[in-house]
Amino acid sequence: MRGDMVLAWSPDEEILEQAECGGAVTSLLKFALESKRVDAVLAIKARDGNRYDGVPALIANPEEVINTAGALHCVSPNIARCLKEYLDGAFDVKIAVTCRPCDARAIIELAKRNQIEMENLILVGLNCTGTLHPVTAKQMLREEFGVDPDDVIREDIEDGKLTIGLKDGTEIEKDLAELEEKGYGRRENCRRCEVGIPRMADIACGKWGANGRKATFIEVCSQKGADFIEEAIQVGAINVEHPDSEAVETREAKDREAIDSARKWQEQDFVDLRGMSIEERFTYWTGQFSQCIKCFGCRDACPICYCLDCYLEADRGLVTEGQVPPDITFPIIRIMHVADSCVNCGQCQDACPAEIPLARLVHMLNRELGAVFKYEPGMDVSAPPPLGTVTEEELDMAGVGISLS
């Protein structure tokens, strides 16, 4: 039933050893394949064992799922785009997808635009408090932790601390906020993210609430998720027990802390932009965008950008062909088209070779528009994007006045 919670762990010793928590996610993915509920599983794998090179892996053989066990915090692949572009939106294949909240939200936004077939997906949501850029992570490990990045076998972000585990068994812990003040730590948009528990997926899995035990706390978030978990329990794919109220409370408390921290970061990231005067803003952004080389990386990476006939291409007449850096129209148009539905995945800023703070700008606009449109992107597949819809109330009202406050 939706809202049900269980503490789960894998019955398989090998999975349990490699797992981040209880190995339940790995076992569930295996079960999904073995029971033929899905044709394949889409998860992240460390390519050639390199923790800083995490790639989406499509797996059809249940025995190979174990290669994706364990959380990789130093990578941030674009799962939603991968599904849409390389797996044809899952229209003709059933897939179980492991997804962070931003991935799940992006998938839902694409589903609203008929780019992904959610009926064919099982969204195995993963709790997330943020990931790191591989390059920043490696630099941080060398300079702040004083270790060789290749010696790291696990990372953990908990209670404001970043802890790394090395091959030789030692652990080093550092204060996350301090690291982030120095420019290390999590990706910028991750720091601002308030959505740590992917309740918009079918199940939400994580370590909050496991309270030190090697178990995965699973919250059932949809009927599909409920059926999936029930069957998995019945055939013994995972072992479960009911979490006590302390576990549930701990989880809630950690979520609240994460949200508080995210809001502080939002304020911090946006305060400079909001505080600028009109002239300063103009100078700032024209300066930033004068570094744009029109690589289209932002557009190609953004999960919301799905148009086959993009407005930004030269043949649409809005952007001048062959002009680099492009007019400021180029980034402005792109941002305006996605701002109402931005899920703060940060892929645009990651993709930008000129390191323009794109995600910061769009996320800030999206937060303000969320209040105007009363719309949260990526949460409910049945809530249509605001710019393309009209409500009954609007059709009934008279004397329309627009307030921008």
Partner 1 sequence: MSTGFEPKIIGFLCRWCSYPGADLAGTSRIKYSPNMIPIRVMCSGRVDPSFVIKALNDGADGVLIAGCHPPTDCHYQSGNIKAMRRYPLLMRMLEQFGIEKERVRLEWISASEGPKFAQVVEEMSDTIRQLGPLGWRKDAVE
Residues forming the site for partner 1 (CB under 8 A): 273, 276, 278-285, 311, 318, 327-329, 332-333, 335-337, 339-340, 361, 364-365, 368-369, 372-373, 386-388, 390, 394-398, 400, 402, 404
Which token pair is 76? 């941030």
- Considering beta carbons, is residue 170 or 283 the nearer one to partner 1? 283
* SS3 annotation, 245-270: HHHHHHHHHHHHHHHHHHHHHHHHHH
- Tell the smallest beta-carbon distance from residue 315 to partner 1 (Å): 14
- Considering beta carbons, is residue 103 or 340 the nearer one to partner 1? 340
Strand order in the sheet with 5-9: 54-59, 40-46, 95-99, 121-126, 203-206, 216-220, 5-9, 239-241
- Tell the smallest beta-carbon distance from residue 281 to partner 1 (Å): 4
- Considering beta carbons, is residue 223 or 283 the nearer one to partner 1? 283
Within a 13 Å sphere around the CA of 112, how many CA atoms are in the beta-carbon half? Answer: 22
How far lies 220's CA from each of 151, 223, 292, in Å? 36, 8, 43
- Tell the smallest beta-carbon distance from residue 85 to partner 1 (Å): 24
For residue 44, give the H/E element and its range: strand 40-46
- Considering beta carbons, is residue 13 or 279 the nearer one to partner 1? 279
- Tell the smallest beta-carbon distance from residue 349 to partner 1 (Å): 16
- Considering beta carbons, is residue 6 or 364 the nearer one to partner 1? 364
- Tell the smallest beta-carbon distance from residue 355 to partner 1 (Å): 19
- Tell the smallest beta-carbon distance from residue 332 to partner 1 (Å): 5
Phi then psi for 57, rounded to 5 degrees? -125, 130
Contacts with 23 (C-beta within 8 Å, 6 or more apart), sequence order? 9, 10, 12, 15, 16, 69, 216
User: What angle is formed at CA 195 by the lines to CA 193 and CA 199, rounded to 5 degrees?
Assistant: 165
For residue 280, give the H/E element and its range: helix 278-289
* Number of Cβ atoms within 10 Å of the Cβ of 279: 8
Q: Alpha-carbon torsion 252, 224, 127, 153, what sign?
A: positive
- Considering beta carbons, is residue 1 or 390 the nearer one to partner 1? 390
- Tell the smallest beta-carbon distance from residue 78 to partner 1 (Å): 25
Which token pair is 112? 């609203």
Contacts with 179 (C-beta within 8 Å, 6 or more apart), sequence order? 140, 144, 162, 185
- Considering beta carbons, is residue 168 or 392 the nearer one to partner 1? 392
Beta bridge partners of 45: 55
Euclidean distance between CA atoms 369 and 377, whole angstroms: 11
- Tell the smallest beta-carbon distance from residue 275 to partner 1 (Å): 12
- Considering beta carbons, is residue 50 or 329 the nearer one to partner 1? 329
- Tell the smallest beta-carbon distance from residue 323 to partner 1 (Å): 11
- Considering beta carbons, is residue 1 or 395 the nearer one to partner 1? 395
DSSP one-letter code for 380: -
